[in-house]
Structure 1
């Protein structure tokens, strides 16, 4: 997932599945990092709303 978020296309799976993974990987990476911080560091970790909005608007266009 992290590699897909950084631009690597998944291989060995059907194109439609690869497209879905590629499209959603950046959002998934941000949320994975956020949840990791909540669990490992502090429950006071700020929600990454701005980054999610930025990423969300970029894949809709």
Structure 2
């Protein structure tokens, strides 16, 4: 799957949401940025509807035949 096929790649939704979550933050160094990224990704992990939405945006049929 080409990385440019955003509509077919649920990871693009994750990165988009992560960038929005970090947009107004101003970390002082790379370690603080890494900690913020880890925290935001961990929060997303427990929001199953959000993650389901990223997969649903691909339009793939995930039900077994």
TM-score range normalised by the length of the shorter chain:
0.3 to 0.5
User: Higher relative contact order by CA 8 Å / sep ≥ 6: 1 or 2?
Assistant: 2
Q: What is the TM-score of this pair, normalised by structure 2? A: 0.32
Rg larger in structure: 2
More helix by share: 1
Q: What is the TM-score of this pair, normalised by structure 1? A: 0.33
